[in-house]
Amino acid sequence: MIRLIAISNPRAGQAFIDYMSSRGIEVQMMPEGEGTFGLWLKEAEHQIEVEAELQAFLQHPTAQKYQSASWDMAETRTARFYYPRQGFIKTLKDSSGPVTMSVMLVCIVTYAALFLGFGDDVFSVMHFPASGDEQWQLWRLFTHAFLHFSATHIVFNLLWWWVLGGRIEKHSGSAKLLQLFLLTALFSGLGQYAFDGPNFGGMSGVVYAMLGYVWMVGHFAPSRGLSIEPAYVGFMLLWLVVGFFEPFGMAIANMAHLFGLLSGCLIGVLDAKLSRSAKKLS
C-alpha cells in the first residue's frame, strides 16, 4: 500500500477512487483523524499513472469524467466507506509510528520527573550545553527538546508533534522522522542559545520545523502526497508572531520557533527538489 495524499473532502476522494476503479486500479480511502482522509494505492506498479492522474484531479476535481465515473460505479461499488470506532490509544498508534510515540513517551516521563522532586537534577542533565565542560556533552544538543515546564506547554507541543510528526512518519518512514528530529532540535536549539542563552526547553522548535517541512514538501512536490491544511499553517504562523510579544507574561523560546521553522522549510525544499529531480531522471 502506498499513501498518495491526505484530503479533507471524502466525497472528492471517493470520486477519484471511482474514476481509478473504472480504469481497473484500486485506491482506498481511510480516515486519519483531525478531519483528514488518506488515499492509498494498493499496487505499486500503478504509482506513476495514479500520481499523474491525481494531479490532474486536484486541478479540476469537478471535471465530467470524474463525475461520470462516480455515477457509473455507484451500483457496483463493493467497498463502503465508514468511520470505525476505536479507542484513544489505537487512534494514537494508527496516526503515528514508533519514533513519534517514543518521543512523546520520553517527554511525558521527563515532565513527570521534573514535578516529582527531580527538577534540578533532570534540568542539569538535559539542558542545552552552557559551560565549557558541557560543550562536549553532545546529547545536550538534542535533549533540551524533551524538557517542558507546564501542562499547557507539553500538551500543546505533543499534540502538534503527534499530528505533524505522525503524518511524516506514516508517509516517509521512521528513519526520516528521526533524522528531522535530530537536525531540527539541533538548529532550533542553536538559534535560541545564540540569542537568549541555555535556559530553555521544549519541542516547540521541532514542532515548527515539522510544520515547515510538511508545508514546503506539499507546496513544491504535491505528488508525494505529504501536505498540511492551510488553516493549520495560518494558526501556527500567527502564534509564532504573537509569541514575540510574550502574551500574559509567558516566557517563550521565540528564536527556537523561528529557527525551527526555517530549518524545517529548508529541509523540506531540498527534499522536494531532490524528489522532483529523481522523477525527471527515472
Do residues 206 and 161 touch, judged by C-beta distance below 8 A?
Answer: yes
Number of helices and strands (H, E) in the chain? 13, 3
Is residue 186 within 8 Å of residue 194, measured between CB atoms?
no
Among candidate residues 246, 145, 154, 130, the one with its CA nearest the CA of residue 205: 145
Let me know if 257 is a catalytic residue.
yes
Q: What are phi and psi of 32, to 5 degrees?
A: -120, 5
Q: 46, 127, 148, 257: which is the annotated catalytic residue?
A: 257
* Active-site entry in 70, 96, 204, 263: 204
How many Å apart are CA 162 and CA 97, to the nearest integer?
A: 9
Amino acid at site 201: G
Strand order in the sheet with 27-33: 2-7, 36-41, 27-33
Give the Cα separation of 201 and 148 in Å (integer).
6
Q: What's the CA gap between 58 and 282, in Å, rounded? A: 24
**Torsion over CA: 196, 197, 202, 204 (sign):** positive
Residues classed as catalytic? 204, 257
